[in-house]
Amino acid sequence: MEKKKIFITGAGSGIGKEAAICLARRGHTVYASIYYQEQLEQLEEISKKEKINLYPFMLDILNEKDREKILNYDIDVYISNAAIGNSGSVAEVSVDKIRQVYETNIFSNIKCIQFALSKMIKNGKGRIVILASIAGRIPMPFLSPYCSSKAALETFGTCLRQEMKILNKLKETNIEIGIIEPGAYATGFNKEMNEKKYNWMYKNSYFLGNVKKIQITEEKIWNFLEQKPYNSIVKQYIRVVEDKSLKHRYSAPWWQVSIVQIGRILGM
């Protein structure tokens, strides 16, 4: 197996953290960008203890100077993993909250991808992996800020894949683009995202009087959906790095992917 140099954003917690550690344990060199200092210290400790090529560092993808740091790295695979979430009804959620999600999940990630691509195109090869979501393909009520941002990333990723195929033929380069679509995993991200809307819906909402019922129903749905072991999705991170040829999409867990396919057939 060829050892790769990987740059992954949003590696301080959840699936991104597990993937960064796992890839380093497999012998790859992993540059893991972190947002919070305490997360940096945790990964540094793991790297030192296990003696793996895991190099965490602070990076805020919203900051232009931080984004430019990507140019300092010679990388084979760039994984655009950083994301935030917010929730609320389309009829009343603050546009500022939507804008904040878009600024992180879409605009800042695309700017980072452009930096990574500029080096890869110059070198003639590389892989860009974009983290979308199953939620971007089957939207859920009260999650429009997050779902729509991930749906946009699906589109940007697909367009970029098509464009790089054209560029590869024109310039004889080998730039591959892939998308990872995680389903619902019990990382704490979904719970935090869902609860944000209740900070204001209990005070003022078109759904006032029914908010508690909505909250209870949501909790039941997420308790059913959320997968606790991360193994199935971390395996997809390994595949996007190690597969001989990069596929368009990598999704997990399989049973949630099946629900998505059935839902699309039924016109959901």
Q: With 90 as the cut, is the pLDDT of residue 206 above it?
A: yes
Q: How confident is the model at residue 263 (pLDDT cuts 50, 70, 90)?
A: confident
Cis peptide leading into residue 253 (ω within 30°): yes
Give me the pLDDT at residue 259, please: 80
Give me the pLDDT at residue 268, please: 63
Q: How confident is the model at residue 203 (pLDDT cuts 50, 70, 90)?
A: very high
Q: With 90 as the cut, is the pLDDT of residue 174 above it?
A: yes
Q: Percentage of the chain with pLDDT > 90? A: 92
Residue 251 has which token pair? 């999704």
Sole residue written with tokens 């979501």: 133
Closest CA to 129 of 224, 247, 46: 247
Give me the pLDDT at residue 195, please: 96
User: Mind listing the pLDDT tens digit for each residue in 77-104?
Assistant: 999 999 999 999 999 999 999 999 999 9
> Is the C-alpha dihedral spanning 80, 81, 83, 89 positive or negative?
positive
Domains for the chain: give ranges and CATH numbers.
Answer: 5-265 (3.40.50.720)
Q: Whats the size of the chain, residue-wise? A: 268
Give me the pLDDT at residue 156, please: 98
Q: Give the list of residues 6+ apart from residue 2 with CB closer than 8 angstroms, or none.
A: none
Query: Mean pLDDT across the stretch 19-39?
Result: 97
Closest CA to 71 of 131, 112, 106, 40: 112
User: Mind listing the pLDDT tens digit for each residue in 117-158?
Assistant: 999 999 999 999 999 999 998 889 999 999 999 999 999 999
Give the range among 112-121, 140-149, 177-186, 255-264 with minimum mean pLDDT.
255-264
150 vs 58, 62, 83, 233, 263, CA distance in Å?
24, 17, 9, 17, 17
- 3-class secondary structure, 224: helix
Q: Give the list of residues 6+ apart from residue 208 with CB closer than 8 angstroms, or none.
A: 201, 202
Q: How confident is the model at residue 171 (pLDDT cuts 50, 70, 90)?
A: very high
Q: Percentage of the chain with pLDDT > 70? A: 99
Give me the pLDDT at residue 262, please: 81
Query: Mean pLDDT across the stretch 8-14?
Result: 96
User: Is the pTM value of this prediction over 0.75?
Assistant: yes
The C-alpha atoms of residue 151 and residue 134 are separated, in whole angstroms, by 9
Q: Give the list of residues 6+ apart from residue 255 with CB closer than 8 angstroms, or none.
A: none
Q: Which residue has the higher pLDDT, 227 or 67?
A: 67
Give me the pLDDT at residue 260, please: 78
Q: With 70 as the cut, is the pLDDT of residue 175 above it?
A: yes
Give me the pLDDT at residue 227, please: 86
The C-alpha atoms of residue 144 and residue 253 are separated, in whole angstroms, by 22
244 DSSP β-pair partners: none
